[in-house]
Amino acid sequence: MWTSADLAVAAAARPEAVAHLGLRTTSAVVAEALGLAATGGLLTASELLERLGGFAADGTGSAGLAAALGEAVTAPPVAAGLALLWSGRGDEAPLRAGAALYRWLAATGELAALHPVHHHAAGQGLYLAGEQDALRQLLPMLGKMPDDVRHYLEADLAHPGPGAQDQQAHRRWEALLSARFVEHGLSPLAVGPQGHSPHLFDHLRGTVAPGRVHGPLVTVVIPCFRPDEGLFTSVASIAGQTYADLEIVLVDDASGPEHRELIAAAADLDPRARVLTLEQNGGSYLARRAAVAASTGALVTTQDADDWSHPERMEQQVALLHEHPEAPASRSEAVRAKDDLTHQWFGYRALRANASSLMVRREVLETCGSFLPIRKSADSEYAERVQHLLAKVADTRTPLAVTRLRTGSLSRGDFSYQWSHPDRIAFRGTYRAWHRSLRASGATDVPPDATPEVPQAFGRGIPQAVTLPTEVDVCLLGDFSDPPASGGRHSRRRLLDRLSGRRVGLWHVERPRALTRARPEMHAGWFDLVVASPDLHLVTRTQHCRVGTVVVLDPSALLLSTAQTTTVHADRVEVVLDEAALAPSPSGLPLDLLGVSDACHDWWGLRPTWVTGPDTPAGESRLRDALPDLPVEPGLLAARHA
């Protein structure tokens, strides 16, 4: 409650930023701060959630809702921040409470004037909470909602439901599904009658004749591992392309004998398709590498095993490369949809860039190499590598696919609104630094065995992958969003000099007082140092790593971070205290040192050793005077121990 009360002052002034902080950290402390700020200190978020729990998700109970909140909530804009946080958490009870709060804000006339993020959140939150009737009533007042978010909400509200017989309603729904394609001059979509598959997604159809356009041979790689019948949808959508000159390589990523019949049947859908069977599972990108090496097309692209490509996708992307001979590759957009062809994923737009649509020229593969031998994110990395080393990728800026959104997918589990898996963040920063180093070296070709250091899960079972270490001597934990050179002689870059000869980890954790709506990520300069230094490595809470000494440079960063678990083990924890750590926040409260100690115990099972900051021996006496009962000693980074 100490930290919640401290954050409540910030929540009153910047509720959206505090809500985003809560979603990034998943800390209940942040929600409680919003509850306190919304009710003038009367109620916590937990108490508000309990009050709202009795209201039905069908939008009824408006009078009771008004009575429950009317006297308690004194700051409606802060209550909107709490609604945003609850709606983005994904759990049923908070989602329903968030929807109830947005309904109340609409009834009081507050919703229309709120920040645009709330118009987006209210629309999707109400839909996902099952309050379609309430959403229909509120849509007219959500005027700040992005157009494509509104469009796909309207499409989902028009969804006829399973087994519907109303053909007029079905055609209206098909028109809404097709609208973003048709407005770009593409043929409309159709959804055929339900047949062998229970999923409407698998009944997507094109409405234009295939095989009418010719040109250079295009290799389409479709990797699969233990696929279901969605594979037929994927292959059929490639077989139905208006572009005729295709080589389809269907890669069986060691699925096992029980899947061979289905994969062979999928390949039989088109005489241009063949199956490449791998002996050992290595993930989608190792499968793509194998297929690319065995392919003959002048152009190479990919297709995920359960997605659907619009019939004109290949035609459009090849034409774009013809129009832009300087472009090394082309790329298109896609519409996300679930198995039932609804589109709502909280906080995300249905229309997005389609990483797997990248279509590269053969000579690009010879210069930039192939996909990295890892299990995740290699398509995004490869597209950025091509652009960084060669030239800008040509984008169609049109949707040319419908990609399947499933809860259990590798990518879906690594993202939620305002939250990303730390491995993804670490890898993105690392590969961008690697790209900068490649360009700075003046290399004209990327060596075939070149690879940056990747998180352990990315390289699981892949001998070629270079993964983060499982042991480091010292790990510096803190907020590294500032550049390494900042801070003069006390800069954190200089701390690394004191640790020369040791294996050092950098663990970036954001400070709660930073309060930015966007995630404050580690500065690119630190990633450059990691890529350039063989003894410097990234550490994240999800890495299995044994650390000799964790040095906590920003104690406040631990107060929210330990809401999420860690697999990092520490033999010793030092928490650096300086006068800045003792300075009161705008609330007047200093840092909760007992909370910091508890956080250390939660993560590592250790109580910390309190130490003085580097180069501040003169400050020791002031620290001791301020904290007379706390044993403060020189730490690993202190000048006398350097």
Residue 243 DSSP code: B
Does 116 or 582 have the greater pLDDT score? 116
d(CA 457, CA 470): 12
Compute the CA torsion angle 133, 134, 137, 141 (nearest 10 deg).
-150
- Give the pLDDT confidence of 79-111 residue by residue, as tens digits: 999 999 999 998 999 999 999 999 999 999 999
Q: What is the pLDDT of residue 633?
A: 82
316: left (phi over 0), alpha (psi -120 to 50) or beta: alpha
By C-alpha distance, which of 596, 549, 547 is closest to 569?
A: 547
Does 450 or 534 have the greater pLDDT score? 534
d(CA 521, CA 518): 9
Q: What is the pLDDT of residue 456?
A: 96
Q: Which band of pLDDT confidence, cut at 50, 70 and 90, is reported for residue 640?
A: very low
The CATH class for the domain spanning 468-641 reads: alpha beta
Average pLDDT (159-184) is 92
Q: Which band of pLDDT confidence, cut at 50, 70 and 90, is reported for residue 55?
A: low
- Give the pLDDT confidence of 449-505 residue by residue, as tens digits: 788 999 999 999 999 999 999 999 999 999 999 999 866 555 788 889 889 999 999
By C-alpha distance, which of 463, 465, 551, 543 is closest to 502?
A: 551
Q: What is the pLDDT of residue 83?
A: 97
For the record, the structure tokens of 398 come out as: 């049109």
Q: What is the pLDDT of residue 443?
A: 75
pLDDT > 90: percent of the chain? 79
SS3 content of the chain, % helix, strand, coil (to 5): 45, 15, 40
- DSSP H helices, 90-228, are 92-107, 116-128, 132-138, 147-157, 167-182
Q: Does position 310 have pLDDT exceeding 70, yes or no? A: yes
Give the type of residue at 273: A
Q: What is the pLDDT of residue 591?
A: 87
Helix (H/G/I), strand (E/B), else coil: 10? helix
Helix (H/G/I), strand (E/B), else coil: 269? coil
Q: What is the pLDDT of residue 491?
A: 77
Instruction: Provide the sign of the torsion angle of the four alpha carbons 470, 476, 477, 483, taken in this order.
Output: negative
Q: Where in the chain is the domain with CATH 3.40.50?
A: 468-641
Q: Does position 54 have pLDDT exceeding 90, yes or no? A: no
- Give the pLDDT confidence of 119-157 residue by residue, as tens digits: 999 999 999 999 999 999 999 999 999 999 999 999 999
Q: What is the pLDDT of residue 637?
A: 83
- Paired with 349 in beta bridges are none
Q: Which band of pLDDT confidence, cut at 50, 70 and 90, is reported for residue 631?
A: confident
Helix (H/G/I), strand (E/B), else coil: 463? coil
Residue 283 DSSP code: -
What's domain 201-416's architecture? Alpha-Beta Complex (3.90)
| Terminal alpha carbon distance of the chain | 38
Q: Are strands 218-224 and 299-302 parallel, antiparallel or unpaired?
A: parallel
Q: Where in the chain is the domain with CATH 3.90.550.10?
A: 201-416
Does 428 or 629 have the greater pLDDT score? 428
Q: Which band of pLDDT confidence, cut at 50, 70 and 90, is reported for residue 208?
A: very high
Phi, psi of 254 (to 5 degrees): 55, 50
Q: What is the pLDDT of residue 639?
A: 55
For the record, the structure tokens of 214 come out as: 């010719």
pTM of the complete model = 0.93
